[in-house]
Structure 1
Amino acid sequence: MTVDIKNLNHTQLTELISKAQIRQDELRKEKVGKLREKVLALIKAEGYAFEDIFGGGTRGTPKRRGSTGTVAPKYRNPANPEQTWSGRGKRPHWFNDALKTGKKEKDLAI
């Protein structure tokens, strides 16, 4: 199929480009699907499971490295020892207030 793009107006050309991009995405997804099937078939033919080759967890979602959940507190509020901060994220108000009064970070460290 040949399309003479010189005879298309702006709207027709934009529509053609949009349709071409959609088709390109469809073809890419089909190709990736076929490749995935080939890889899984090869793994199975060799007597292994997907998890044996690429690790455990859910297929297609990479494991996050280093995410351990909570982080141990690094700083403690001298006025209220129950208030702590890990040193990550936005500084708590008590931490900023202590710095404004002249304390240093090392003074608040646990």
Structure 2
Amino acid sequence: MDISNLSLAELKELERLIPREIKRREAEEKVKVRKELEAFVQARGFSLNELMGGESAEKAKSTRAGGKVAAKYRHPQQADLEWTGRGRKPKWVEAWLANGGNLDQLAI
């Protein structure tokens, strides 16, 4: 990418957008890698928690009730905006739906 032809304003806009995009992509990559790892260890009869020195599978199941629920939906441009799909819809989800989007597009 040749940035030498960009104006100062365009460069400053890129400077503002790049950290946000990096953060979003890092979050996406972490989710992707975690899913791959979970599938890999599950195929061998283990849980990721067991292998990483966490609780055993039996104990993890018994303590799971009342714990934090995993997010089911994520904003496509802002990875830090997530929703579990429970309770009232966040404003960003309402705005997405009002602009013609659907929840399937936000699914993780």
Fold conserved (TM > 0.5)?
A: no
TM-score (norm 2): 0.42
- Which of the pair has the greater relative contact order for Cα pairs under 8 Å at 6+ separation? 2
Report which of the two structures shows the higher radius of gyration computed on alpha carbons: 1
TM-score by length of 1: 0.41
